[in-house]
């Protein structure tokens, strides 16, 4: 059986294995923490709106070049968000 912490650690490792689509440098621990905070805020907003979402987007920020990207965790790729 997999724990929630194990799934979260695996997801964080996957995020750090993806390169930023702008500068081609892998996302860092700081970028992953930013992503976690973004996800928490998105979840809180959906709760306030009495809405839910499954497998929604995950946004991440590159601390090297400042690019914000959406992660496709099914393909392990990032796409620049304007």
pLDDT digits (tens, 9 = 90+) for 51-81: 987 777 799 999 999 999 999 988 889 999 9
- The confidence score (pLDDT) of residue 21 equals 97
Model confidence pTM above 0.85: no
Q: How many domains does the chain have?
A: 1
Given the DSSP bridges, would you call strands 77-80 and 58-61 parallel, antiparallel or unpaired? unpaired
pLDDT digits (tens, 9 = 90+) for 10-46: 999 999 999 999 999 999 999 999 999 999 998 899 9
Please, what is the angle between helix 4-16 and helix 29-48, to 10°? 120
Structural domain for 40, as ranges = 4-80
- Contact partners, residue 20, CB within 8 Å, separation at least 6: 26, 27, 62, 64, 65, 67, 69, 78
What confidence tier does 48 reach under pLDDT thresholds 50, 70, 90?
very high
- The confidence score (pLDDT) of residue 1 equals 57
Contact between 70 and 27 (Cβ < 8 Å): no
Total number of residues shown for the chain: 82
């Amino acid at each position: 059986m997999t724990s929630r912490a194990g799934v979260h650690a695996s997801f964080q490792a996957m995020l750090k294995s993806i390169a930023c689509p702008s500068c081609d440098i892998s996302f860092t621990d700081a970028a992953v923490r930013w992503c976690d905070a973004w996800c928490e805020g998105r979840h809180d907003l959906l709760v306030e709106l009495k809405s839910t979402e499954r497998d929604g987007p995950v946004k991440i920020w590159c601390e090297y070049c400042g690019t914000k990207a959406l992660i496709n965790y099914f393909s392990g790729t990032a796409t620049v968000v304007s």
